[in-house]
């Protein structure tokens, strides 16, 4: 179990009258899963509420490209890379960095980085190190590969990774105007097929409101994902970041978010669905987290104030892991 500190909470600051999803969604969850929910504390940033306090040491994110990325996507503009350890500036290999991190208490790694113009993170030069990390250090590995090609998938299939995390985009406008990418939705479908063929656990992400806050290709992405029985589905909501092309963009409404949560739960009744790191902050975050529980989602990263108490009121036993969504130690 992780080093999360659970503190006796005050009364939840949640309006429990807000239930914007059909109660049948929670019933679907109850039918197929135990009465428990997992709260995740990924190591990208500190996170603490009156109920929850995470650790930055157990699961560490590494960028194999430092802050370099050829795409400069409108929603990120390399800002997410700034929160990761910079491998190119480290005096040593990926394996050497992993040794150092394990000595400091790491149990797992997210190996990520910026993409080339084809949205491929250059992971192939690090495959040998990943194999050593698994065999010699027994650290869990997740990867962000972008859109991995055949050679990358084949190589990753030999590493014994815990999963591949990737955004699945279902509309051309988002691919072209947000990612600046010369690709089509069919290319994302091909990647899911490739991962499935090589037996690599896929952990697809859908960004709700990805097209400048508008709902565009999310349903098509969900239909794509349904075909491949994902290990986990992660839902995130556009979080407009300062210094990006999305700064000042209004995210989808709470009703739109609730509708998609409900659609996803009904579409994948037996697959774990988790609410990932990214989503708007403040009071809206509390409402979103409550919707996630009401819609029968199985876990939440960076839970908001009072949401652990709310889960208890719904009859769910809480578990806590300092890692990316769906990781188990």
Site of tokens 């400069």: 72
Q: What is the pLDDT of residue 324?
A: 92
Q: What is the pLDDT of residue 139?
A: 98
Q: What is the pLDDT of residue 79?
A: 67
Q: What is the pLDDT of residue 73?
A: 76
- Per-domain residue ranges of the chain: 55-266+281-286
Q: Give tens-digit pLDDT for 285-294.
A: 999 999 999 9
Q: What is the pLDDT of residue 77?
A: 65
Q: What is the pLDDT of residue 243?
A: 79
The reported pTM is 0.92
Q: Tens-digit pLDDT profile for the chain (329 aa)?
A: 344 433 333 334 444 435 689 999 999 999 999 999 999 998 777 788 889 887 889 999 999 999 988 787 777 767 677 889 999 999 999 999 999 999 999 999 999 999 998 999 999 999 999 999 999 999 999 999 999 999 999 999 999 999 999 999 999 999 999 999 999 999 999 999 999 999 999 999 999 999 999 999 999 999 999 999 899 999 999 988 787 888 889 999 999 999 999 999 999 999 999 999 999 989 999 999 999 999 999 999 999 999 999 999 999 999 999 999 999 88
The CATH number given to 55-266+281-286 is: 3.20.20.70
């Amino acid at each position: 179990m992780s080093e999360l500190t659970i503190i006796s909470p005050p009364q939840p600051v949640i309006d429990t009258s807000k239930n914007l999803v059909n109660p049948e969604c929670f019933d679907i969850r109850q039918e197929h899963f135990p009465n428990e929910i997992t709260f995740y504390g990924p190591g990208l940033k500190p996170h603490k509420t009156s109920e929850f306090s995470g650790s930055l040491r157990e699961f560490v994110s590494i960028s194999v490209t430092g802050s370099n990325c050829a795409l400069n996507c409108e929603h990120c503009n390399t800002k997410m890379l700034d929160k990761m350890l910079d491998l190119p500036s480290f005096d040593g290999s990926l394996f050497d960095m992993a040794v150092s991190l394990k000595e400091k208490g790491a149990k797992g790694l997210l190996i990520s980085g910026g993409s080339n113009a084809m949205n491929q993170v250059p992971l192939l030069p690090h495959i040998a190190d990943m194999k050593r990390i698994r065999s010699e250090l027994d650290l869990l590995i997740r990867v962000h590969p972008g859109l991995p090609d055949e050679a990358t998938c084949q190589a990753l299939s030999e590493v014994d990774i815990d999963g591949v995390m990737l955004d699945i985009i279902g509309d051309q406008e988002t691919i072209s105007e947000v990612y600046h990418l010369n690709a089509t939705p069919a290319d994302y479908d091909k990647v899911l097929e490739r991962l499935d063929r090589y037996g690599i656990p896929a952990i697809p992400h859908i960004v709700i409101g990805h097209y400048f806050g508008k709902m565009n290709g999310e349903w098509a992405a969900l239909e794509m994902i349904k075909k491949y029985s994902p290990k986990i589905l992660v839902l995130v909501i556009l979080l407009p970041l300062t210094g990006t092309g999305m700064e000042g963009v209004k995210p989808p409404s709470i009703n739109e978010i609730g509708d998609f949560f409900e659609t996803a739960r009904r579409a994948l009744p037996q697959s774990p669905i988790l609410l990932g790191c990214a989503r708007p902050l403040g009071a809206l975050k509390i409402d979103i987290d409550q919707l996630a529980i009401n819609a029968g989602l199985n876990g939440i990263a960076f839970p908001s104030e009072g949401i652990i108490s709310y889960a208890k009121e719904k009859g769910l036993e809480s578990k806590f892991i300092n890692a990316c969504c769906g990781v188990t130690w």
